[in-house]
Amino acid sequence: MTTSFRELLASLHRTALGTWVKLPTVDSVELLAHAGFDFLVVDMEHSPLDVLTVHHLLGAAHGCGLPALVRVPDRTPSTISRVLDSGAAGVLVPHVDTATDARAVVSAGRFPPHGTRGYGPTVRAGAWGADVPGYRASDNETAVVPQLESREAIDAVREIGAVDGLAALFVGPADLAVATGLAAGSPEFAALLDDVASAAKELVLPLGTAVGTAAAARELAAHHDFVMISNDASMLGQAARTLVADASGR
């Protein structure tokens, strides 16, 4: 059985390590699972992945026993519902700037009476109709995680985090730096991140972020419950460049 993302965060006594899946091949999922990542996030926002391809990637993650979230491209309820039906452990939702936004995405990810998600258990999440009770019960395990990536979102972090049904908070540092116009290493930018960390602690919510290198992940581990490191496409590219450089002496 695949552990849910919520269960993963609750059971680990260290920071959970994940990475983004951007390439449209199930081999990426298997390779990353064998590498030892704790979870994956299939990235529909910054890749050309469609719902059918995501469905196949999630199937591979299930086969590897690895919880996989999907970063949806927007807050559309139909997309959220479809990836959850395909077996996503939850959704990472970009551009959640207000508590109203947060309530909307929680509603899209929950069955009535807690939300508006359509009920159809003859899907992977319901074992194709063989586990209707499990499909219904999965409603309590679905992880809805808002991505905070604007000054408006940081200013409203406590109101957003107080929305019932959220599994965690996630800060998109690259998007936040662009949106605020602040340098990522500046004291002003660090103060924004510290405020989010303080809010997550006050709200007793897990906090996640994304970085490009293992060194950066080690630096952030003490203050984050889960950290995304790099992505499958970047890992392949970096390994290939290193190999060519080493072989050619360039």
Per residue, the 3-state secondary structure of 44-106, as one string, reads CCCCCCCHHHHHHHHHHHHHCCCCEEEECCCCCHHHHHHHHHCCCCEEEECCCCCHHHHHHHH
Start-to-end CA distance of the chain, whole Å, equals: 47
Rounded (5°) CA angle 102-166-12: 145
The residue assigned the tokens 């581990």 is 221
Query: Which amino acid makes up residue 20?
Result: W
With CA atoms as reference, report the closest residue to 193 among 221, 179, 172: 172
* Phi-psi sector, 56: left (phi>0), alpha (psi -120 to 50), beta: alpha
Contact indicator for 75, 103 with CB cutoff of 8 Å: no
Residue 36: predicted pLDDT: 97
Whether 34 is a known active-site residue: answer no
Query: Which amino acid makes up residue 211?
Result: V
The whole-number average pLDDT for the span 79-89 is 98
Structural domains for the chain: 5-248 (3.20.20.60)
Residue 3: predicted pLDDT: 85
pLDDT tops 70 at residue 12: yes
Distance (Å, rounded) from C-alpha 203 to C-alpha 152? 19
Lowest mean pLDDT among 1-10, 17-26, 112-121, 158-167: 1-10
pLDDT tops 90 at residue 1: no
DSSP-derived pairing of the beta strands 68-71 and 90-93: parallel
Helix axes 173-180 and 187-203, enclosed angle (nearest 10): 130
Given 34, 46, 56, 95, the catalytic residue: 46
pLDDT digits 0-9 by tens, 46-71: 999 999 999 999 999 999 999 999 99
- pLDDT band for position 223 (cuts 50, 70, 90): confident
